[in-house]
């Protein structure tokens, strides 16, 4: 407990940072490469490509309130690890997506797992961090996404190469997420009391954060 109170870079926070970074790098592999895959392998046209990209974002946004509810009512460890496991499963399944419908369904499910995993990671980070240094620690944790956003697309394009090595791309991304899942199993998750709230608007919307959320939206 003293370790959590004194330092940001505790063992658990460091493991969570690494796991989240690896997961995010795997995700950002697909940012510049998925449109190429959808057009050259699936044969998607420009309008269909918009659905392929958009359905992922929409599903990730739509699931976030439910992911937060599950983290409070089911438990941090269980929800985070299961979401990460499904994220790895769906990542590896892109290799088998040979038609547009399969790809769209896969993108929908993958977006759900991404939304829950990212919400879970940031929530657990806030739980682990010492309260007096939480702002500093959240800033460090945010670097996992920033660094992954900078490195992932470049590495993803290199993995795909000029000869479009999609299997190498997808399996490398899956390997990173599986490694993240293994690391995440060694984290000591805070034992917090579960909140069994009935499903209602109040369970999903915290009125106190609406002003900040509105600013971030715009």
Helix axes 11-37, 100-128, angle to 10 degrees: 160
Whether the CA torsion 24, 25, 31, 37 is positive or negative: it is: negative
pLDDT tens digits along 43-94: 999 889 999 999 999 999 999 989 998 999 999 999 999 999 999 999 999 9
Alpha-carbon gap, residue 135 to 126, rounded angstroms: 9
Alpha-carbon gap, residue 156 to 10, rounded angstroms: 31
Helix (H) or strand (E) holding 180: helix 166-184
In the Cβ-directed half-sphere of 90, how many Cα atoms lie within 13 Å?
24
The single-letter DSSP state of residue 74 is T
Band of residue 112 on the pLDDT scale cut at 50, 70, 90: very high
Q: Residue 2: pLDDT above 80?
A: no
The larger pLDDT score, comparing residue 78 to residue 190, is at: 78
Residues 152 and 21 sit within 8 Å (Cβ to Cβ): no
The single-letter DSSP state of residue 9 is S
Q: 51, 184, 164: which is closest to 106 by C-alpha?
A: 51
For 12-35, what is the mean pLDDT? 96
Q: Residue 162: pLDDT above 90?
A: no
CA distances, 10 to each of 3, 58, 80, 81, 193 (Å): 6, 34, 19, 20, 22
Alpha-carbon gap, residue 209 to 33, rounded angstroms: 35
For 19-27, what is the mean pLDDT? 97
**Residue 55: CB atoms within 10 Å:** 19
Alpha-carbon gap, residue 189 to 173, rounded angstroms: 25
Q: 108, 118, 4, 3: which is closest to 56 by C-alpha?
A: 108
Residues 197 and 111 sit within 8 Å (Cβ to Cβ): no
For the entire predicted model, the pTM comes to 0.90
pLDDT, residue 206, reads: 79
């Amino acid at each position: 407990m003293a370790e959590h109170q004194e330092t940001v870079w505790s063992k658990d926070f460091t493991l969570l940072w690494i796991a989240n970074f690896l997961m995010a790098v795997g995700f950002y592999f697909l940012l510049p490469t998925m449109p190429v895959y959808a057009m050259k392998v699936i044969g998607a046209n420009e309008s269909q490509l918009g659905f392929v990209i958009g359905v992922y974002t929409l599903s990730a946004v739509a699931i976030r309130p439910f992911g937060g509810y599950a983290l409070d009512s089911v438990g941090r460890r269980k929800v985070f690890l299961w979401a990460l496991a499904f994220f790895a499963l769906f990542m590896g399944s892109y290799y088998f997506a040979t038609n547009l419908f399969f790809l769209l369904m896969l993108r929908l499910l993958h977006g759900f797992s991404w939304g829950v995993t990212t919400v879970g990671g940031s929530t657990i980070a806030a739980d682990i961090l010492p309260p007096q240094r939480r702002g500093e620690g959240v800033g460090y944790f945010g670097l996992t996404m920033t660094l992954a956003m900078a490195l992932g697309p470049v590495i993803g394009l290199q993995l795909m190469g000029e000869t479009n090595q999609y299997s190498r791309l997808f399996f490398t991304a899956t390997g990173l997420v599986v490694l993240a899942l293994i690391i995440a199993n060694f984290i000591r998750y805070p034992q917090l009391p579960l909140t069994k709230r009935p499903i209602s608007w109040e369970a999903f919307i915290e009125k106190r954060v609406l002003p900040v959320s509105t600013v971030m939206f715009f």
